C-alpha cells in the first residue's frame, strides 16, 4: 500500500488531474442512475438509457474545470473546495434542466435532477475526503503524535494549520479552563491538565504545543515545569508581541527555547529615556552585526533616528543586517541606513565616519568576547578590545559627540583571563575620557559604560552549543558541576543599554540587574528535558542523553561578578544600578596604553599580560602560556594600517593625548 501511495504521489500534476476527472466520471454515472432508480424507473428503462449520462458527464467535468475544482490540491481541501463542489452540482443541474422539455426524457425530470445534484455533491466530496485521507494521513508509527495546550482561538488555529501537515497528528487539546474540559473542538477531545500525566503515555503523545501566546513568563514556566516530568518535546507558538509586531504568525510552531523560561517579565521602557539619545539623531553602532550590536540597531531603528550607521568588520554580518533592516524599516520613516565596512583600528576611517555623518550617539559594542579564544590569541584580544576602544573613544572625544556608551561585561570584574582584563582596560579608557571632559570644563562628550553578564542565545554561548549537542544525541558537555553564570535575553539587555546610556552624566558604570545566577548543569538538564529526552546518569542509567563534566577552560571562573564593590546607587529604572569605581588618570593610563601598543606590534604576549597586570591589580596572568603563536616577541618593521600609523609608517601622537 505504501509503495502504491508513493507511486501516486510522484505522478505528474497533469496525470493526477486526469485521475480525478476519471474518478468524477464514475461518480457522475453512479449519481445519475441512482437518482433515476429512486424515482421508479424500471430496470428495462435503466438499461435502455445507458447513453443518457453522456450529457451530465460533459457538463459536470466542464463545470468543474470552469470553477477551478481540479486546481485544488487534495491535501489542502477546505471550505473553498466544498463551495466549488456545491457550485459544480448546482450549475450542472441548471444546465441539464432544459433537456427534458426538448427530448421528453424521464432521466431529466426535475425531481430526478435534484436528486442527482445532491448525490453528485455527496459523491464528489466523499472521493476527495477519501483521497486526502489516503495520501495525507500517515501511519501512527510515522507521525509525531501531538496535543495542543490551550483550547482558545490560538490553539484552534494551530490545530487547523496542522491538519495538512503530515509530520504531526493532533490527538486533542489540554486546557486549565474547567468549562472547556470534557468538550470537543474540531472533533478532538479537550482534557484537563491534571489528566495529562495519565493520558500522554496512553495516547503515545510525543509532542505538546503551547498555544498560549499571551500568558506571562511566570505562568509559562509553571506549565513547562509540569510538562518536563512527562518526557515530552515541548513546542510553542510565538509570543503575542511577535505576532502583533508582524514578525511572526500564530501558526509558526517552534521548539520552546530556554530563553522563554529564563527571561523575566518585560519591564516597559521609559519612553523619555529610550528616545533621548536616539530620536532624530545620528546614531553609530560598532559591532553592528554581532548579537548585542544587531539588537541595539533593531531597537534604535524603531525609534526612528535621522541616520543609523552600521559599523562592522565582517562583510557577511554587515550584508545580512543591512538587508534585514531595509526589509523591516517603516516605509514612512525617513531614517537613512549607512553600512560602513571597516575595522575600528583604522584610525582615519573611524574619524572620517564620525565627522562625515555628524554622529551624535555612539554605542561601542564591538569586542572579542570568547574567553578561551582570546586566551590563545592575546595580541588580537588586546588590539581589538583595548586599542580599538582607545581609537573609537579618542575620536568621540576629539569631535565632541553627544554620547559614547561602552557595552561591557561582568568578566571585567576581578578578571582571571585576558578577555576580561582587556575589557576592564576598555572601561578604564572610557572612565579616563569622562574625567578629561570634566577637567576641561567644557560640554564635551558624555562617556559611560554598561556592564552585564551573558546573554541567552548569543553566538558561542552555551545555549546554542547545548542545543547542537542535544540534536546530535549527546553527550552534553559542562566544564564544572558548580559553574554558574548570569543570563539575560538579548532584547532586554539592548533595551536597558539604551536607557542606561541616556541617564549618564559622565563616567558612570551602569550595572544591569541580571537576577539570580544560574547553575550551568541545571540549565543543561532543563534543555535536555524540554527536547523530550531524559537525563542519563548513575541514578538513571536508562536515560537518553548524558551530561559529561570536563574541566574549566583556560581563564574561566566558577562564577562571575558584576561589581568591584557594593556601592550601587539606584536609578530611575528599577533594573539599572549605577556605580562609581576607581580609575586611572589619563596621563598614567595613556603611557601604559602606549606600552601595550608597542608590545602588540612586537607580538610580545608575555609583555602584554604583564602590562595588563600592572593596570589591573586583581588580574594575575596564568602561569601557563596558551597563545597559539607563542609568546616570544618579534620586531615588526612597520604596520601601516595599525593604530597610530600614518601612510609613511611613522608613529603619530594621539590627538586625544
Closest to 406 measured CA to CA, from 443, 449, 344, 456: 449
Active site residue 411: yes
Q: What angle do CA 311, 315, 321 make, to 5 degrees?
A: 65
**C-beta of residue 218 within 8 angstroms of C-beta of residue 263:** no
Sign of CA dihedral 189, 195, 200, 203: negative
3-state secondary structure of 158: helix
Q: How many CB atoms lie within 10 A of CB 98?
A: 10
Beta-bridge partners for 484: 519
Q: How many CB atoms lie within 10 A of CB 298?
A: 16
**C-beta of residue 406 within 8 angstroms of C-beta of residue 365:** no
d(CA 544, CA 591): 57
Q: What burial letters (b/e) apply to 45-63, b meaning 16+ CB within 10 Å?
A: eeeebeebbebbeebbbeb
d(CA 479, CA 521): 9
For residue 384, what is the DSSP state?
Answer: I
Mutual angle of helices 605-615 and 586-601, in 10-degree steps:
170
d(CA 452, CA 513): 8
What phi-psi label fits residue 449: left (phi over 0), alpha (psi between -120 and 50 degrees) or beta?
Answer: beta
Cell numbers given for 299: 531597537
Q: How far is CA 563 from CA 368, 410, 542, in A?
A: 21, 8, 44
Closest to 515 measured CA to CA, from 562, 478, 557, 553: 562
| Cβ-based neighbours of 620, under 8 Å, separated by 6 or more | 416, 613
For residue 467, what is the DSSP state?
Answer: H
Mutual angle of helices 418-440 and 388-398, in 10-degree steps:
10
**C-beta of residue 93 within 8 angstroms of C-beta of residue 117:** yes
Residue 253 burial (10 A CB sphere; 0-12, 13-18, 19+): buried
**Dihedral pair phi/psi, residue 240, rounded to 5°:** -60, -40
Q: What is the helix (H) or strand (E) element at residue 618, kind and residue range?
A: none
Q: How many CB atoms lie within 10 A of CB 546?
A: 17
Max Cα-Cα span within the chain: 116
Q: Which one of 235, 411, 423, 536 is the catalytic residue? A: 411
Q: Which active-site residues does the annotation give?
A: 411
Amino acid at each position: 500500500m505504501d509503495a502504491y501511495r508513493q507511486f501516486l504521489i510522484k505522478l505528474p500534476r497533469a496525470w493526477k488531474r486526469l485521475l480525478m476527472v476519471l474518478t468524477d466520471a464514475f461518480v457522475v454515472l453512479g449519481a445519475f442512475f441512482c437518482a433515476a432508480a429512486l424515482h421508479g424507473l424500471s430496470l428495462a428503462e435503466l438499461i435502455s438509457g445507458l447513453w443518457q449520462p453522456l450529457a451530465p458527464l460533459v457538463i459536470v467535468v466542464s463545470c468543474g474545470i470552469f470553477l477551478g475544482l481540479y486546481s485544488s490540491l487534495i491535501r489542502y481541501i477546505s471550505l473553498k473546495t466544498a463551495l466549488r463542489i456545491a457550485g459544480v452540482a448546482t450549475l450542472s443541474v441548471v444546465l441539464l434542466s432544459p433537456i427534458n422539455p426538448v427530448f421528453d426524457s424521464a432521466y431529466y425530470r426535475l425531481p430526478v435532477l435534484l436528486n442527482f445534484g445532491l448525490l453528485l455533491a455527496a459523491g464528489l466530496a466523499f472521493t476527495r475526503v477519501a483521497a486526502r485521507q489516503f495520501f495525507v494521513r500517515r501511519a501512527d508509527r510515522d507521525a509525531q503524535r501531538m496535543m495542543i495546550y490551550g483550547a482558545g482561538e490560538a490553539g484552534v488555529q494551530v490545530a487547523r494549520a496542522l491538519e495538512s501537515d503530515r509530520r504531526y497528528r493532533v490527538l486533542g487539546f489540554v486546557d486549565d479552563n474547567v468549562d472547556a474540559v470534557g468538550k470537543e473542538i474540531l472533533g478532538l477531545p479537550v482534557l484537563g491538565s491534571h489528566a495529562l500525566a495519565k493520558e500522554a503515555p496512553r495516547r503515545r503523545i510525543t509532542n505538546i504545543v503551547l498555544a498560549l501566546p499571551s500568558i506571562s513568563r511566570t505562568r509559562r514556566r509553571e506549565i513547562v515545569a509540569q510538562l518536563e516530568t512527562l518526557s515530552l518535546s515541548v513546542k510553542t507558538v510565538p509570543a503575542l508581541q511577535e505576532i502583533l509586531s508582524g514578525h511572526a504568525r500564530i501558526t509558526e510552531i517552534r521548539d520552546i527555547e530556554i530563553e522563554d523560561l529564563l527571561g523575566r517579565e518585560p519591564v516597559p521602557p521609559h519612553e523619555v529615556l529610550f528616545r533621548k539619545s536616539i530620536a532624530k539623531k545620528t546614531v553609530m553602532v560598532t559591532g553592528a552585526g554581532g548579537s548585542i550590536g544587531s539588537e541595539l540597531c533593531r531597537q534604535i531603528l524603531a525609534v526612528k533616528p535621522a541616520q543609523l550607521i552600521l559599523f562592522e568588520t565582517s562583510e557577511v554580518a554587515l550584508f545580512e543586517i543591512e538587508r534585514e533592516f531595509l526589509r523591516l524599516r517603516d516605509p514612512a520613516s525617513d531614517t537613512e541606513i549607512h553600512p560602513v565596512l571597516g575595522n575600528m583600528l583604522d584610525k582615519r576611517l573611524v574619524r572620517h565616519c564620525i565627522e562625515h555623518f555628524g554622529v551624535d550617539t555612539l554605542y561601542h559594542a564591538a569586542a572579542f568576547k570568547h574567553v578561551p579564544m582570546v586566551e590563545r590569541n592575546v595580541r588580537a584580544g588586546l588590539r581589538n578590545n583595548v586599542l580599538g576602544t582607545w581609537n573609537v573613544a579618542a575620536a568621540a572625544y576629539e569631535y565632541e559627540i553627544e554620547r559614547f556608551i561602552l557595552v561591557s561585561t561582568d568578566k571585567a570584574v576581578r578578571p582571571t583571563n585576558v578577555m576580561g582584563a582587556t575589557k576592564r582596560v576598555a572601561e578604564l579608557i572610557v572612565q579616563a575620557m569622562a574625567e578629561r571632559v570634566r577637567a576641561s570644563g567644557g560640554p564635551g562628550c558624555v562617556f559611560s559604560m554598561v556592564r552585564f553578564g551573558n546573554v541567552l542565545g548569543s553566538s558561542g554561548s552555551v545555549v546554542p552549543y547545548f542545543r547542537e549537542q542535544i540534536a546530535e544525541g549527546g553527550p552534553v558537555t559542562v566544564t564544572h558541576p558548580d559553574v554558574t553564570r548570569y543570563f539575560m535575553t538579548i532584547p532586554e539587555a539592548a533595551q536597558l543599554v539604551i536607557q542606561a546610556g541616556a541617564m549618564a552624566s559622565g563616567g558612570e558604570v551602569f550595572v544591569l540587574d541580571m537576577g539570580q545566577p544560574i547553575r550551568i548543569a541545571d540549565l543543561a538538564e532543563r534543555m535536555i528535558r524540554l527536547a523530550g529526552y531524559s537525563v542519563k546518569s548513575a541514578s538513571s542509567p536508562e536515560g537518553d542523553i548524558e551530561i559529561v563534566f570536563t574541566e574549566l577552560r583556560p581563564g574561566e571562573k566558577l562564577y562571575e561578578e558584576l561589581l568591584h564593590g557594593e556601592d550601587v546607587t539606584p536609578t530611575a529604572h528599577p533594573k539599572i544600578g549605577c556605580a562609581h569605581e576607581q580609575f586611572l588618570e589619563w596621563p598614567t593610563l595613556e603611557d601604559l596604553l602606549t606600552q601595550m601598543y608597542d608590545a602588540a606590534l612586537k607580538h610580545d604576549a608575555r609583555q602584554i599580560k604583564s602590562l595588563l597586570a600592572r593596570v589591573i591589580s586583581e588580574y594575575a596572568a596564568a602561569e601557563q602560556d596558551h597563545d597559539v603563536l607563542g609568546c616570544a616577541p618579534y620586531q615588526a618593521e612597520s604596520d601601516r594600517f595599525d593604530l597610530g600609523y600614518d601612510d609613511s609608517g611613522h608613529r603619530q601622537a594621539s590627538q586625544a593625548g
